[in-house]
Amino acid sequence: MNLRLQNKCALITGGSRGIGAAIVKRLAREGAHIALTYVSKPAQANETVKAAQELGVKALAIQADSADAEAVVAAVERTVAELGGIDILVNNAGIAVIAPIDDYRLEDLDRTLAVNVRAVFIATQAAVKHMQAGGRIINVGSCNAERIPFTGGGVYAMSKAALVGLVKGLARDLGPRGITLNNVQPGPVDTDLNPATSDFAKTLVQQMALPRYGSGNEIASLVAYLASPEAGYVTGASLSIDGGFTA
């Protein structure tokens, strides 16, 4: 593995498990020092931190609910203080509440927008105060921003579609400063929250060009590319990695 990110400092929100943990380990393998946020389950977060440290980098876990604006800003500031800066921000934390519109609760709408949209803006705003030219901001969006072929997913799809517009606009703001912003839009990925063996998974696989779920490592590989110097000319983009879900 080339150390493309050697001595870079990265913050991954929601980095204790699933896609987030895969991103943590991949960036650490490429030499980045890591901070990750988690909401609960500190043992799981510490396990991911230990895996990163075993790769020879500094790593720490920060308890922070992305729905809490002050906690998001504090996580960025602690990353800067303990790692010595922030070069890469991966806005990975997200939630999905699936329910038909007749039953959808306002509190679930508010929390979805707070975590999936507002926190992305807040973390980005806080991070760019410390970023130099070459800084990278990568959001983990969803292919559901473009296609939502099941009922009850309207609010989730709306929250991920909002990121498409956000990166286009912020890319204009930050381009002159040499900072890039992009979305990674995964399709179905095998995680503990969305296992590839579920009945729901079987219905999704039937709609894909590649008849399988993706892995967290596959998503992490695209994030690592966007975080690297090689991606210096990519900004304002929403890149699907979805097995042909939106094809």
Instruction: Determine phi and psi for 70, rounding to 5 degrees.
Output: -65, -35
Radius of gyration of the chain (CA): 17
d(CA 195, CA 201): 7
| 8 Å CB contact between 230 and 4 | yes
Question: What letter does residue 143 receive in the DSSP assignment?
Answer: G
Instruction: Output the CA–CA distances (angstroms, integers) from residue 138 to 36, 125, 135, 207, in the order listed.
Output: 14, 13, 10, 27
| 8 Å CB contact between 139 and 167 | yes
- Residue 156 annotated to the active site: yes
Q: Could you say which of 156, 213, 225, 233 is catalytic?
A: 156
Strand partners, 36: 12, 61
d(CA 61, CA 110): 26
Annotated catalytic residues are: 156
